[in-house]
Structure 1
C-alpha cells in the first residue's frame, strides 16, 4: 500500500516483545488495528535477518521490510534471509587487515561460532545459530585496554568501518543507523508520517527523527535521557513497560489521528 496514513517503526526486545516472555501478545489489539488500517509495521532491531524473518512471520508483518543489525542492513518484504553477504565478507577482510597484536583482542561472532555465541549470550543453540548468521555487521567482545581499542578503531576506520558499543558487545559495520533506514523505507511508501517506538539508547536517533516518538518503559534496561521533542509532546513515554505500553501508545495515537 503506497501512501498509507502512517508508518510504524518499532524496536523489539523490551519494546514490542515482553522482556520475560518474549511475546508480543499484549500488543495484539494495536497490531490488529494497524493491519486493518493498512499501516506498515517495520521491525527495527539489532537482530539478524535470519532472526527477524521468523519474528516477522510470528508478529504478522512479513509483507513489510525490516531493519536488521541495528540499521546496517535491510530484510526486504517477502524475502528470506540468506547466509553470508559481500558486506560481511568485506568486514571480515577489514578485520584481518588490522595489526595482529590488536586483532587478537577482538573476539567476534565469526571467531566464536554458533557454540561460542550460545556460550556468551546464553541463547539456546538454534537461536545462537541464527544470531551468528551475520550479513552486515560483526558484534564481538573486546579484551584489550582503552588505548588498544583506540588503535583498533583507527585501523578499522581507515577502511571505512565504524563501531558502536551496546551492552557487552562492540559491533562493527560499514555504517547505517535505524534512523537512516527509516528514511529509506518511508520513501518507498511515499513518506507518510512516521511513528517510532523504542526503549534503549540505540533507538534514540530513530525516535527523535520521527514525527511521533514513543519511549517504551523498560525497568530492566538503561533509561533514556530526555530526548528532543519531549518538551513539546512530540515524543512521549509510556507508563507500562514492553508490549503493554506499546499497545496503549499506538492505540492512543491512532485515536488522536482518527485512523
Structure 2
C-alpha cells in the first residue's frame, strides 16, 4: 500500500469561509489520525494563529505558515532533517524568505502610487471588520513573521505593475481568498510542500502519495504539484484553474463538507477505510 501525505489549506477549505467552523470535517480528520496519515496544514495563517487552532483541531503534525514562508516541525515527531534548522522551543523552523519588516520597508514608497492597505496600516478593529474574526484572533493574525497581507483596492493592471517593481527585490505578491500577500519569491505553498514531502520520503519504506486540498489562487502551486489535487468548491468565488492538471478534483460540497468528502473518497480508493 502506498503511504499518503495530506496537505490542506484552512480558510474556505478545512474551515468554513463564513463561520471558520470545521465541524463537517471532524470525522474525516479523525479517520486520518486513526490510520496515522499526516495532515499538514498549509495556510496563510500565522504561527500564533496555528498554535491555538491546532489545539482545537487536535493537530499533531507539521504545519506550513504564511503561504509557504516557513515550516514548523514538532520535535516530538523525531523526523530526521539533514540541514540546519532554527530551534523554536517545541518546534524546528525552516524559513524560505525575508522577514516581514523587510517587506513593509520595500512597499512604503508605493502607498501613494496604488490603492492598498497593509496589515501594518490597519488596527485589529479594521481586521475584525473585514474578516469577521473575533478580537483575539484578529490580534493573532496581525502577528506575522514572513509575509505582509494587504487589502488590494486597485486594478489588476496596477497589481501586476507592483509585482514587476517588487520582482527586482525577489519579492512576489500572491492573491488569497481575501488578501494579497507580500512574500519572498521562493515562499510558496508548493515549495514548502515539496520540501516536507522529501523529509518524509527520505524516511519512508514505500512511495509517498501527496494529496493537496485548497480553494484559492494561492493554492494553485500546491495543487499543481500534488499527486492528488483537490479543489474545494467556494461559496464566494469561482474555483481556481489548476494548469496542466486535467485530473484535479472539484468537490460538490463547499468548504469542510467538500474536504471531508474528498478525504473519505481517497481513503476508500486506497483501501484504507
CA distance 1:177–1:146, change in 2 (3 Å): closer
Deviation at 1:20, TM superposition (A): 4.0
How many residues were matched structurally? Answer: 249
Residue 76 (structure 1) aligned with residue 44 (structure 2): no
Match of 1:59 in 2: 57
Per mean C-alpha deviation after superposition, the further-off stretch among 25-34 and 7-16 is: 25-34
Report the TM-score, using the length of structure 2 for normalisation: 0.78
Three-state SS of the structure 2 residue aligned to 1:189 is: helix
Q: Give a deviation string over 1:19-65, Cα, whole Å, max 9, x none.
A: 3442222222221121111111011111111112211221122x322
C-alpha offsets along residues 96-130 of structure 1, whole Å, 9 cap, x if unaligned? 4x46744x854311122323333443432211101
1:183 aligns with 2:194: yes
The unaligned stretches of length 5 or more in structure 1 are none
Distance 1:70 1:77 in 2: 19
RMSD (Å), alpha carbons: 3.0
Give distance in 1, aligned partners of 2:18 and 2:64.
23
CA offsets per residue over residues 193-221 of structure 1, 9 Å max, x none? Answer: 10111122221221121111112222332
Q: 1:10 to 1:119 in 2, by over 3 A?
A: same
* Mapped contact 2:214–2:223 kept (Cα < 8 A): yes
Match among 156, 166, 176 for residue 166 of structure 1 = 176
SS in 1 for 2:137: helix
Counterpart pick for 2:251 among 238, 250, 254: 238
Write out aligned runs for 1:205-224 (5 A). Answer: 205-224=221-240
**Could you report, residue by residue, the CA deviation over 1:126-163 in whole angstroms, capped at 9, with x for unpaired residues?**
11101111111111234667776566444433322211
- The 5 A counterparts of 1:99-138 are 101-102=112-113, 106-138=116-148
Normalising by the residue count of structure 1, what TM-score does the alignment of the two structures yield? 0.82
Q: In structure 2, how many angstroms separate the alpha carbons of the residues matched to 1:210 and 1:67?
A: 15
User: Structure 2, unaligned stretches of length 5 or more?
Assistant: 76-89, 203-207
Within 2, Cα distance between the matches of 1:210 and 1:242?
19
Change (3 A) 1:196 1:88: same
Change (3 A) 1:23 1:168: closer
